[in-house]
Amino acid sequence: MSNLATRTLTGVVLVVLVIGATITDQHLFALLFMVFTIVGLWELYTLVEKAGINPNKPAGLLAGIVLFITNALVAMNMMNIEWLLINFVCVFLIFLFELYRNDPNPFTNIAFTFFGLLYVAVPFSILNYFPNPAFIPGVYHSSLLLGFFFLVWINDTGAFLIGSAIGKHRLFERVSPKKTWEGAIGGAVFALISAFIISHYYVHLSTKDWFIIALIVIVFGTYGDLFESMFKRSIDAKDSGTILPGHGGVLDRFDGVLMAAPFVFVYLLMSY
């Protein structure tokens, strides 16, 4: 099977999995993205290990799981918001755990352990709040999540297709030589058109809101892709992992989601 066919098949399976979990049940969505959180943290910590850094994998994974579960339960109104304070305990325990590791670079290890939580666990945890940004008991608008994912995927796909077809002017050659301005503009056009279409079916937000979310995705989803490329280039890695044939790892596939999710969440909180 060619790389394009493998990439396409993997992408279709992943999209079906995410859409299926999202529209079926909030608990199933949370379970799926908790798995993505664990795999994403593992990928990131494994990558930085290749650069000679020794993050505290067990502590980082434990803190990431607690962070995700507590936020998911709060988002589903199954736990009071005060329980989120337990995450401060987990964060400071990482300092204590590092005391007993006898590593020559403890603060570098701590920094990259925290980096994993901030870059992977926090954005994935935030996604749990998208279906109910007003915290109304019993409410689950899967359309808010689906619309966000559709915009990220369409922006990425449009950028890839247009960039591959006519891309000539490099967007950020130092970080990602293959990405072009033509691709970025093409992805933006596709995303804005899609936002207009989405607004006619997912009416929990206005057309203006969907356009603004699309603009956030266009800007910060692209930056997420560039940031991931910069990170991998800094440690001389091609992909973050191998779990997704043709795509690499979870971090490779969700780089736009990871960067755009916090900004979209803030907008939802302010506008809903």
The pLDDT value recorded for residue 178 is 85
Predicted pLDDT at 247: 62
Do 151 and 198 meet the contact criterion of CB atoms below 8 Å apart?
A: yes
Q: How far apart are CA 229 and CA 168, in angstroms?
A: 19
Distance separating alpha carbons of residues 80 and 162, to the nearest angstrom: 47
Q: What does the pLDDT read at residue 114? A: 96
Would you write out the chain's pLDDT as a tens digit for each of its 272 residues?
556 667 778 778 899 999 999 999 999 999 999 999 999 999 999 999 988 899 999 999 999 999 999 999 999 999 999 999 999 999 899 999 999 998 899 999 999 999 999 999 999 999 999 999 988 888 999 999 999 999 999 999 999 999 999 988 898 888 888 889 999 999 999 999 999 999 999 999 999 999 999 999 999 999 999 999 898 888 877 767 677 665 678 998 999 999 999 999 999 999 87
Global pTM?
0.94
Q: What residue type is 218 in one-letter code?
A: I
**Rounded to the nearest 10 degrees, what angle do helices 222-234 and 142-166 cross at?**
70
- State residue 233's pLDDT score: 83
